[in-house]
Structure 1
Amino acid sequence: MSIRSPSSSHAAERGSRVQARRHIRALMGKTLAYFADHESDNLTLVREHLLDLVDARPSQARGQNLRSACLLLHKHADVFNRAFQAALQTSLEEEVRSILPDVTDATQSRNSASDEALNGMTLSLIDVCEVERILLLDRVAQRFTAHYDASVSPLTLRLGALLGQDAPSLLSNPFRPEVFVRAFLLAWEKSGLDDQATEDLLLALEPRHSLDLAPLYADLNATLMQAGIEAQTMHRIKRSDSVPSAHANLGPASAAAPLSGGDEAPVSRRPGLGAPEAGRARSVWGGLAPAGRNIAAQARQFLQRLGLGSPPAPGDSGDGEALAWTETHGDGARQTFAPADPEFMGYLGDLQAGAGASSSYQILEGQDPGDHNILRQMRDRDEVRRAPELDRGTVDALAEVFDFVFADQAIPLQMKFVIGRLQIPVLKAAMIDRDFFLSADHPARRLVDTLASASVAWAPEKGENDPLYVRIESTVKRVLTEFEDDLTLFSELLLEFTEFLFETEQQAQVRIEPAADHERVGESYEQALAHADEAVHDRIKALPPELPLAPFLAPFLTTQWREVMARAWLNVTDSPAQWDSALTAMDQLIWSTQPKTRTEERRRLVAVLPDLVRNLNAGLDAIDWTGEARATFTRRLISTHMLAIRMTQPVAVDTASALLEANAGQEAMNELDQRRAGKLAGSADEFDAMAQTFSRGLWFDFMVNETTRHRCRLSWVSPMRTRLLFTNRDGFDAFVRSEREVAALLRRGRLSVIDQVPIVSRALDQIMSDAQDRQAA
Structure 2
Amino acid sequence: MDTVPLNTAKVSEFSSSSRLLMLQSLVPVATNLVSSQLEAFTSRLTDALFKISDQTLQPEEAANSFQACQLLKRNQTTFYRLLASQISTMLMKEVGAINTRKRLKDNHDIKDISLVTFEEMENKVLTNNLTKSLEVNSAEKLVELNCRIGLVMKRTPITVSQNPFRPEIFVNAVLQAWMELESTTVTPHLIIRIMQPDLFLNLSSVYQGLNDALAERGIVVDTDAVKRENKKRHAPLKSEDLDSRDPYLQNKLRNIFYPQASKERNQSGGVGAVAQDGAGQSGPLQSWLPAGAGGAVDTVTIDRQFFDYLTGMQKQIQQNQLVQPEDRSHLRRLTQEASAGELTHIDQNTIELLARIFDYVFSDDSIPEEIKSLIGQLQIPTLKVALLDKDFFFKENHPARVLIDTLAKSSVLLGNDATSEDPLYQMIEGIVDRVQQDFDQQIELFSDVVADLEAFLKSEEAQTEQAISEPVEQALKQEKMRLAREFAENDVAIRTDTGEVAGFVEEFLRKQWIRILTIAHNVKEEKPNALENALRTMDDLIWSLKPKNTSEERKELVSKLPAMLTLLNAWLNAIKWDEPDRVLFFSKLAERHAAIARAPLELSPRRQLEIAVNIAQRASEKRLNRHFVDQNEQEVDEWGKMVEGLERGVWFDFTTTAGVTNRFKLAWVSPKRTRYIFTNRQGHDSFSISREELLAQLRNGDATIVSAESIVDRALVEALRDPPN
Q: Same fold (TM over 0.5)?
A: yes
Which residue number in structure 2 is paired with residue 518 of structure 1? 474
Give the drift of 1:347: 1.2
Give the drift of 1:436: 1.5
Which residue number in structure 2 is paired with residue 15 of structure 1? none
**Does the 8 A contact of 2:249 with 2:717 survive in 1?**
no
- Aligned: 1:619 with 2:571: yes
User: What does the per-residue CA deviation read over 1:585-644, in whole Å, with 9 as the maximum and x for residues that have no partner?
Assistant: 01111233456676544432332133213332343344x324334752565266437735
Give the drift of 1:191: 4.9
Distance in 2 separating the partners of 1:723 and 1:108: 46
Distance in 2 separating the partners of 1:517 and 1:306: 56
AA aligned opposite 1:426: T
1:481 to 437, 445, 448: 437
What TM-score do you get using the length of structure 2 for normalisation?
A: 0.62
Which residue number in structure 1 is paired with residue 331 of structure 2? 375
**Does the 8 A contact of 2:400 with 2:443 survive in 1?**
yes
Give the drift of 1:500: 0.5
- Aligned: 1:453 with 2:415: no
1:209 to 156, 160, 164: 156
Give the drift of 1:698: 1.7
2:298 to 320, 336, 347: 336
Distance in 2 separating the partners of 1:386 and 1:42: 70
Distance in 1 separating the partners of 2:116 and 2:596: 87
Distance in 1 separating the partners of 2:148 and 2:385: 28
- Aligned: 1:312 with 2:262: yes
Give the drift of 1:557: 0.5
AA aligned opposite 2:303: D
Which residue number in structure 1 is paired with residue 650 of structure 2? 698
Which residue number in structure 1 is paired with residue 556 of structure 2? 604
Which residue number in structure 1 is paired with residue 686 of structure 2? 734
Distance in 2 separating the partners of 1:435 and 1:278: 17
**Does the 8 A contact of 2:497 with 2:622 survive in 1?**
no
User: Residues 513, 384 of structure 1: CA spacing in aligned structure 2 closer, same or farther, 3 A cutoff?
Assistant: farther
User: Residues 649, 383 of structure 1: CA spacing in aligned structure 2 closer, same or farther, 3 A cutoff?
Assistant: farther
User: Residues 646, 434 of structure 1: CA spacing in aligned structure 2 closer, same or farther, 3 A cutoff?
Assistant: closer
**Does the 8 A contact of 1:593 with 1:644 survive in 2?**
no
Distance in 2 separating the partners of 1:314 and 1:339: 9
User: Residues 203, 721 of structure 1: CA spacing in aligned structure 2 closer, same or farther, 3 A cutoff?
Assistant: closer
What TM-score do you get using the length of structure 1 for normalisation?
A: 0.58
Q: Which runs of structure 2 are paired with 1:172-571 in the superposition (5 Å)?
A: 189-191=133-135, 193-195=137-139, 208-210=155-157, 273=238, 302-307=252-257, 310-312=260-262, 316=266, 318=268, 333-359=295-321, 369=325, 371-461=327-417, 463-544=419-500, 548-549=501-502, 551-571=503-523
**RMSD (CA atoms):** 5.3
User: What does the per-residue CA deviation read over 1:64-123, in whole Å, with 9 as the maximum and x for residues that have no partner?
Assistant: xxxxxxxxxxxxx9999699899999x9699647644317579999xxxxxxxxxxxxxx
Give the drift of 1:576: 4.2
Give the drift of 1:427: 1.8
What is the count of residue pairs matched by the alignment?
A: 540
1:102 to 101, 111, 115: 115
- Aligned: 1:40 with 2:23: yes
Give the drift of 1:760: 1.5
User: What does the per-residue CA deviation read over 1:477-514, in whole Å, with 9 as the maximum and x for residues that have no partner?
Assistant: 22222323323322222111111100111111222332
Which residue number in structure 2 is paired with residue 628 of structure 1? 579
AA aligned opposite 2:115: D
- Aligned: 1:588 with 2:540: yes
Give the drift of 1:413: 1.9
User: Residues 691, 412 of structure 1: CA spacing in aligned structure 2 closer, same or farther, 3 A cutoff?
Assistant: same
User: Residues 193, 301 of structure 1: CA spacing in aligned structure 2 closer, same or farther, 3 A cutoff?
Assistant: closer
Distance in 1 separating the partners of 2:542 and 2:251: 77
AA aligned opposite 2:381: P
User: Residues 43, 643 of structure 1: CA spacing in aligned structure 2 closer, same or farther, 3 A cutoff?
Assistant: closer
Distance in 2 separating the partners of 1:343 and 1:574: 78
Distance in 1 separating the partners of 2:458 and 2:623: 47
AA aligned opposite 1:389: H
**Does the 8 A contact of 1:558 with 1:672 survive in 2?**
no
Distance in 2 separating the partners of 1:626 and 1:599: 35
Distance in 1 separating the partners of 2:119 and 2:492: 65
**Does the 8 A contact of 1:185 with 1:202 survive in 2?**
no
User: What does the per-residue CA deviation read over 1:530-560, in whole Å, with 9 as the maximum and x for residues that have no partner?
Assistant: 222222122123254xxx51x3322320022
Give the drift of 1:675: 12
Give the drift of 1:716: 2.1
Give the drift of 1:315: 10
Distance in 2 separating the partners of 1:758 and 1:676: 43
**Does the 8 A contact of 1:592 with 1:641 survive in 2?**
no
Distance in 2 separating the partners of 1:338 and 1:721: 54
AA aligned opposite 1:396: E
AA aligned opposite 2:156: H
AA aligned opposite 1:402: F
AA aligned opposite 2:336: D
AA aligned opposite 1:434: K
**Does the 8 A contact of 1:429 with 1:485 survive in 2?**
yes
Q: Percent identity?
A: 28
User: What does the per-residue CA deviation read over 1:441-496, in whole Å, with 9 as the maximum and x for residues that have no partner?
Assistant: 32222221111111111123353212211211121122222323323322222111
Which residue number in structure 2 is paired with residue 150 of structure 1? none
1:686 to 631, 635, 638: 638
2:260 match: secondary structure? coil
User: Residues 762, 645 of structure 1: CA spacing in aligned structure 2 closer, same or farther, 3 A cutoff?
Assistant: closer
User: Residues 272, 558 of structure 1: CA spacing in aligned structure 2 closer, same or farther, 3 A cutoff?
Assistant: farther
AA aligned opposite 2:583: T
Distance in 2 separating the partners of 1:398 and 1:205: 44
- Aligned: 1:752 with 2:704: yes
Give the drift of 1:273: 4.7
Distance in 1 separating the partners of 2:239 and 2:140: 7
Which residue number in structure 2 is paired with residue 643 of structure 1? 594
**Does the 8 A contact of 1:270 with 1:757 survive in 2?**
no
User: What does the per-residue CA deviation read over 1:187-242, in whole Å, with 9 as the maximum and x for residues that have no partner?
Assistant: 6742554447889999999994256999x9xxxxxxxxxxxxxxxxxxxxxxxxxx
User: Residues 278, 695 of structure 1: CA spacing in aligned structure 2 closer, same or farther, 3 A cutoff?
Assistant: farther
User: Residues 203, 335 of structure 1: CA spacing in aligned structure 2 closer, same or farther, 3 A cutoff?
Assistant: farther
**Does the 8 A contact of 1:699 with 1:711 survive in 2?**
yes
Q: Which moved more, 1:747-756 or 1:448-457?
A: 747-756
**Does the 8 A contact of 1:84 with 1:186 survive in 2?**
no
